[in-house]
Amino acid sequence: MFGADLPVGGPSYPIPAPAVRLRVKPTDTVYVQAAVFSGDPSGGNGSNQPIDLPKGTVFSFRGGAFFISEIVYTPNQEKDAKGLPGTYKLGAWYHTSHRFGDQRFDTLGFSLAHPASNGMPREHAGNWALYAALDQTLFRVPGTDDQGLSGFLRVAGTPDDRNLINFYIDGGLVYTGLIPGRPKNKIGIAAAHARISDSARGLDRDTAIFTIAPFPQRKAETAIEAIYRAQLAPWWVMQADLQYIIRPSGGVLNDHGNPRRNAWVVGLRSALSF
């Protein structure tokens, strides 16, 4: 979600950004951490409009700053803990750029779909989000450290007018050691839902009105995923992945002008550790 709402996807792979991070742990089960990143890893001015990605490493502070902080609670992490371990996070981020483009209106107040629009999105100062995440072991096989069932849930929200995605939620279950004789193998299922903001939906309605032609209104994208991760050797992991995407990109048209169909995605990746 954050990648869709921040300049060039925010400070994440494959584009690096200078940053400073601070972590404080007042108790054994609670810690607070915060970081500040360069706001636009592309070296641009902090706009969230599509641009060409940079070539090579860029160290720039033109695009404002990206602040993020969270408080984390980690109960039952000790080896002899009686309860099941978990991790609970509550956090927020803020971006200082003054160039977050409106999803519906231009600088003259017209809809971006209006024939009289200048095509320049109204710019907003700042952007922010609130998020929460939990990762909890639900069942542990007696006598083992990591075999059993665990679950996760994440949810986040951002302002409607300047973000394509204003609400996101995902969750899933993972079982480690389900197959006899394969204690490190994992099998899991998950689902993710990204909601298109009301402003972006409004632009779709405007487009249909001003073009006097059928035009789909984006709603949300939902993905259902199943994985199997096999530990083939202490240094070799192979993971198979199967996804079903409902309304890709929220329900947009494809290059031929027809509604984009739901899609299957099949993946396989391998990791070697030395």
In terms of pTM, does the model score above 0.75? Answer: yes
Per-residue pLDDT tens digits for 188-246: 999 999 999 999 999 999 999 998 877 889 999 999 999 999 999 999 999 999 999 99
Which structural domain range is residue 104 located in? 2-272
Find the mean pLDDT for residues 69-90: 93
Residue 64 CA to residue 122 CA, distance in Å, equals 18
Say what the pLDDT of residue 134 is: 97
Element spanning 207, H or E:
helix 198-211
CA distances (Å), origin 85, targets 74, 80, 153, 186, 238: 7, 11, 15, 18, 26
Pairing of strands 121-124, 30-38: unpaired
Task: Indicate which CATH number applies to the domain containing 44.
Answer: 2.40.160
Which tokens in the block code for residue 166? 């204003």
Domain count, the chain: 1
Say what the pLDDT of residue 92 is: 97
Residue 205 CA to residue 103 CA, distance in Å, equals 12
Mean confidence (pLDDT) of the chain: 91
Give residue 82's pLDDT band: very low, low, confident or very high (50, 70, 90).
Answer: confident
Say what the pLDDT of residue 274 is: 81
Q: Which residues contact 129 (CB under 8 A, 6 or more apart)?
A: 1, 2, 5, 92, 93, 156, 157, 158
Say what the pLDDT of residue 176 is: 96
Per-residue pLDDT tens digits for 143-164: 888 899 999 999 999 999 999 9
